[in-house]
Amino acid sequence: MAESQPMLAGTTVLDLASVGPAARCTRILADYGADVVKVGPVAKKAGKQIRPPFFSYGAGRGLRRVQIDLKAPEGRDALLALAAKADVFVESFRPGVVDRLGIGYDAVRAVNPGIVYCSTSGYGQSGPYSQWAGHDINYLALGGFLACSTPRGDGGPPIPGATVADSAAGGMHAAIAILSALNARHTTGEGAHLDVSVADGVLQLMSLHVDEHLATGAEPGPGSNILTGRLACYDVYEAADGKWLSVGAIEPAFYANLCRALGCEQWLEHQNDDAVQDGIRADFAAAFRTRDRDAWVTELAPANTCVAPVYEVSELVDDPHLVARGAFAEAKDAEHGTFRQTGAVLAGAARELPVHEVAAADHTDTDAVLREAGVSDETIQSLHAAGVVE
């Protein structure tokens, strides 16, 4: 249900990242109504920053853009002027870079004691790995995620089908921390410096496995427990048409429903019997191969069996349930035309969105944003003349 007033209306966020976990974070904040201002380099230095494809990160939906040369003293001062009026400051530079630029937490806090300053990095602001470069696959590897996933044909860990570290361990991690700090500020009046490490976020995602090892000495991995494929009731099976079904019948009642629906009643009392799991899998697989995937879904999904289709992306975008819940929105780009995109799907965000008009690649809101921060027109003109802003 759409809210009449967005939950983060009136909250201003400065985002100095172009891609990755920080951009995932501010996408979430923008979907909740925050005024997110993307701070990028001026054109002559933009080649040093990754420019995402036109459709990514919501295609700039609900975002504004400024371009500032942060290496110029005047550019630093302009950013600090923006920070003085902001609620949240998000950066994803290598640890130490913002301090060298004069826009670190202490510098921003000096002009805005209530700022919530979020530093996102792969391995955190401290520790022996803090200066390591990395991407999603590296954080998932360090945090045990890859080792607990079913191996590929050559025995090595698989490459995940989604950037779980960037989106959840990083982006959602940062958003949760920011919202918590904003909530605390209502009571204390004080801001915070948040050290968001994506590797820490993966550790939190993996805590069930990690805690099992720490408590029992067990070595979690593929097939070590029900959630990593030990039992036939939690697996994927191929249907007659070559498409696949996911089965997650963990609870005994759901497992019993599944056995009866598949004609496998002989296994009703053996759900957790390790000695016969190969037999259960073989019989389940044989049963599923007798009908097409969607026929099974029609019968089993509503019948308390914990069965769902394994969709290709091209299928899920037209799924009637997701469409009915308003999961997709429309955007219009001058060069690429009208296209659909993932909407504001997280709980409490407005689902009914107008068509988003994608800004031109060279469009900026620099002048308007600087004026809102109290920068005079004369100063703005001088910044343009010096090539410090665009």
Active site residues: 135, 166
Q: What share of the chain is helix, strand, coil (3-state, %, to 5)?
A: 40, 15, 40
Amino acid at 124: G
Provide the token pair at 149. Answer: 């996933």
Provide the token pair at 46. Answer: 């933009």
Give the E-state strand segments of 234-323 in sequence order: 234-238, 244-248, 307-309
In whole angstroms, give the CA distance from residue 228 to residue 248. 11
Going 299 to 345 to 356 to 70, the CA torsion angle's sign is negative
Pick the closest to residue 22 from 182, 233, 196 (CA basis).
Answer: 196
Amino acid at 198: V
In whole angstroms, give the CA distance from residue 165 to residue 22. 12
Which helix (H) or strand (E) is 39 found in, with range?
Answer: strand 35-40
In whole angstroms, give the CA distance from residue 112 to residue 373. 13
Cα–Cα distance list, 307 to 149, 150, 246 (Å): 20, 20, 6
In whole angstroms, give the CA distance from residue 316 to residue 323. 9
In whole angstroms, give the CA distance from residue 387 to residue 71. 12
